[in-house]
Structure 1
Amino acid sequence: MRSPIVTGHSLPMGDAVAVYGLRQLAAVARRWVRTYAGRRIDENDTLALLTTELFANAVRHSRSGQPGGEVVIVVSKTGMTTQVKVVDDGPLEPGAGPRLKDVDVEAGEGELGGFGLRLVADMATRWGVLYEEGHTTVWFDIDRDDER
């Protein structure tokens, strides 16, 4: 079996890893973020949860989930803020991309969706989406709570 990690780098803007775009590798992304974020347990838990959601979205909704696809994860720390970027191989359809939508918890089982980005919006200090050079980056910041 080949390694789930395509490549890893330490960059001026943080640490980065490329993981094959397979749903079952979300756990690899989660563990990697916990290791490289190096924050308190509860902060690492939040970072790992949100990364897992964005990884799953990238695999499900972008070309990263197709054969040979990959998802790049970048973690950077600046003082009181940890930023995670999840970069996919671009949308499956032109003009498609991540968007925040209303979540209907009463919907039927086949209608579920939209919880991942909603979690990011609710739990992150800041977040956003960038489209550049055929790739989509969803990023989020978690500010450290100095009072704990």
Structure 2
Amino acid sequence: METPVRSWPVPGRRNAVLDSLTIPGRPEQVRRTRTFVTRALAAAGKGDSVDSDAATLLTSELVTNAIRHTASGRPAGTVTIVIVDVPDGVLIEVIDEGSSAGTPVVRSDLLAQNGHGLYLVQQMAAQWGFLREPGGTTVWFHLAGRAEGG
């Protein structure tokens, strides 16, 4: 599955990376990603045009998944977050160091104690998906911009 950055060309408009961050794959670093997303969107002037609270929540869910379920959570593992300006909002990619497990799975059992991260992404993002490559997996989501005056 292609990410929109690679498959979403718009005539006359280039996608632009707003910011990126690579963190150690440790649970205490998730807070750092929330601060990063909020600040990066505000600095790029996107804080009012996209739901930065949703961006922050969904990014922290994906980073947590990367740390818990992939090689990124091993000693010396890392997770990279990339925020991209796209024609209708922002695209956020969370890149891990790979897993021997299967593909990311959305769990819809709302009574379970955990496992709701991808469910939230599915419900709140305009689009989401993943790209599995030999060196890792990129899980991405697109948040559409708010309508004018909204």
Q: Which bracket does the TM-score occupy, shorter chain normalised?
A: 0.7 to 0.9
SS at match of 1:32: helix
Give the CA deviation at 1:96: 2.3
The code of the aligned residue for 1:53 comes to E
Deviation of residue 103 (structure 1)?
1.6
2:126·2:141 contact (CA, 8 Å) conserved in 1? yes
Q: Please tell me the root mean square deviation across aligned C-alpha atoms, in Å.
A: 1.9
Counterpart among 35, 53, 59 of residue 61 in structure 2:
53
Normalised by the length of structure 1, the TM-score is 0.81
Q: How far 1:133 moved relative to its partner? A: 2.6
* Deviation per residue, 1:54-87 (Å, 9 max, x gap): 0100000001000000000000112331110000
Alignment partner of 2:30 out of 26, 33, 42: 26
Q: How far apart are residue 41 of structure 1 and its match?
A: 8.7
Residue in 1 aligned with 2:109? 103
- Check whether the contact 1:50–1:119 (CA below 8 A) recurs between aligned residues: yes
How many residues are treated as equivalent by the alignment? Answer: 131
Q: Percent identity?
A: 34
Show structure 1 runs of 5+ residues with no match. Answer: 1-10
**Letter of the structure 2 residue corresponding to residue 45 of structure 1:** D
1:97 touches 1:136 (CA, 8 Å); kept in 2?
Answer: no
Whether 2:95 is the aligned partner of 1:84: answer no
Is the contact made by 1:131 and 1:137 (CA closer than 8 Å) also made in structure 2? yes
Structure 1 residue 51: deviation in Å? 0.4
**Structure 1 residues 129, 77: CA separation in 2 closer, same or farther (over 3 Å shift)?**
same
CA 1:82–1:67: 2 relative to 1, 3 Å:
same
Kindly indicate whether structure 1 or structure 2 has the higher relative contact order, using CA contacts under 8 Å at least 6 residues apart.
Answer: 2
More strand by share: 1
1:1-148 paired onto structure 2 within 5 Å: 12-38=16-42, 39-40=47-48, 43-91=51-99, 94-105=100-111, 107=112, 112-147=113-148, 148=150
CA deviation after TM superposition for structure 1 residue 42, in Å: 7.2
Give structure 1 regions of 4+ aligned residues with deviation exceeding 3 angstroms: 11-14
* Length-normalised TM-score, structure 2: 0.80
Letter in 1 for 2:41: A
User: Secondary structure of the equivalent of 2:114?
Assistant: coil
Unmatched 5+ stretches in structure 2? 1-14
